[in-house]
């Protein structure tokens, strides 16, 4: 079996469960066992999705959701990665930040929407800040455990060579914690898309979440499901892009090897 055939077989094995589920959905919807106003056939959803792509109906809302998610995620990386590294390697940072993150991590961040709307307004800033808040936790926690769990051999080797604490932090701790940081980023990327959509559903304005809620409000379930499909594809694509970057940026890392 050549590599091309193996790739095709692997693709079919991975997509077969999804195909079976979609086929079952189509058959159930067509037989009238469920109300088509609630669960329309998959084929009709696909046609509506293609029509919205063709007339450009998705592109504006898609861009609004995507840039909010990416800005919030980027801000969380810039702020969360240093905090996680400091928590993992310094006592004062662990003493200061660990109780705060442990206490607020279980808090449903969606409950902060009224507060953030009051503080930052009803437009994009409140949504970006909510995304930032929700993405900050996985990035900090994954980075913290990565920095804290470093093998002492690497640190002892650097110290034996006369490397100072600051240089150890940049040349040893940070590189060896990148895999854990990347794990946090992969989780946070999906969270960013979900929080962007939920915030748009609740506070309105624009974006895919607003489009989906407006479709439900007017009983247009096909557009709602087509929007939901777009949201799923955006989250999946973003996750895969980050995974692709991981394979090329961290090929040298000990855990990747």
255 part of a folded domain: no
Q: What gap in Å lies between CA 257 and CA 251, rounded to an integer?
A: 7
122 and 24, same structural domain?
no
- For residue 151, the model assigns a pLDDT of 65
Cβ neighbours around 75 below 10 Å, total: 17
Residue 98 lies in a domain: yes
The answer to the question of residue 80 being in a domain is yes
Query: Does 123 share its domain with 219?
Result: yes
Same domain? For 135 and 19 the reply is: no
> Is residue 256 domain-resident?
no
Please report the pLDDT score of residue 135 as a whole number: 93
Number of domains composing the chain: 2
Q: Please tell me whether residues 69 and 182 are part of one structural domain.
A: yes
pLDDT of 158: 64
Closest CA to 71 of 180, 207, 210: 207
Are residues 84 and 50 located together in one domain of the fold?
yes
In a domain, 110, yes or no: yes
**Which residues in the chain show pLDDT less than 50?**
257
Please indicate, yes or no, whether residues 17 and 97 belong to a single structural domain of this protein: no
- Looking at the fold, whether 54 and 135 belong to one and the same domain comes out as yes
Domain that holds residue 20: 1-34
pLDDT at residue 68, as a whole number? 93
pLDDT attached to residue 152: 64
Do 50 and 111 fall within a single domain? yes
Residue 7 is assigned to a structural domain of this protein = yes
Residue 65, pLDDT score: 92
Q: Domain of 103: which CATH number? A: 1.10.3720.10
φ, ψ of residue 163 in degrees (nearest 5) = -75, 130
Which residues 6+ apart lie within 8 Å of 14 measured at CB?
none
Residues 75 and 4 in one domain: no
Q: Alpha helices of the chain — where are they, by DSSP H? A: 3-31, 42-54, 59-89, 91-104, 113-120, 124-148, 152-160, 165-168, 174-203, 208-217, 221-249
Q: What is the pLDDT of residue 3?
A: 63
Instruction: Please indicate, yes or no, whether residues 221 and 189 belong to a single structural domain of this protein.
Output: yes
Q: Is residue 257 part of a domain?
A: no
Same domain, 19 and 121: no
The pTM score is 0.83
Pair (21, 94) in one structural domain: no
In a domain, 152, yes or no: yes
């Amino acid at each position: 079996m050549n590599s091309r055939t193996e790739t095709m077989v692997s693709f079919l094995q991975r997509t077969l469960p999804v195909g079976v589920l979609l086929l079952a959905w189509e058959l159930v919807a067509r037989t009238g066992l469920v109300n088509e106003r609630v669960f329309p056939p998959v084929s009709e959803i696909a046609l509506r999705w293609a029509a919205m792509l063709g007339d450009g109906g998705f592109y504006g809302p898609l861009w609004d959701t995507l840039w909010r998610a990416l800005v919030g995620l980027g801000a969380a990386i810039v702020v969360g990665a240093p905090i996680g590294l400091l928590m993992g390697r310094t006592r004062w940072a662990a003493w200061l930040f660990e109780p705060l993150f442990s206490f607020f991590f279980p808090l449903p961040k969606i409950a902060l929407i009224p507060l953030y709307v009051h503080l930052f307004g009803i437009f994009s800033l409140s949504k970006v800040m909510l995304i930032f808040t929700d993405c900050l936790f996985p990035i900090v926690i994954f980075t913290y455990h990565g920095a804290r769990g470093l093998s002492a051999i690497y640190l002892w080797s650097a110290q034996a060579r006369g490397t100072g604490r600051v240089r150890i932090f940049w040349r040893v701790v940070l590189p060896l914690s990148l895999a854990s940081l990347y794990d946090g980023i992969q989780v946070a990327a999906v969270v960013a898309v979900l929080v962007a959509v939920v915030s748009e559903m609740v506070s309105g304005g624009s974006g895919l979440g607003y489009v989906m809620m407006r479709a439900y409000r007017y009983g247009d379930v096909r557009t709602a499901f087509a929007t939901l499909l777009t949201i799923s594809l955006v989250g999946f694509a973003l996750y895969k892009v980050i995974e692709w970057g991981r394979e090329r940026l961290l090929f040298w890392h000990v855990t990747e090897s």
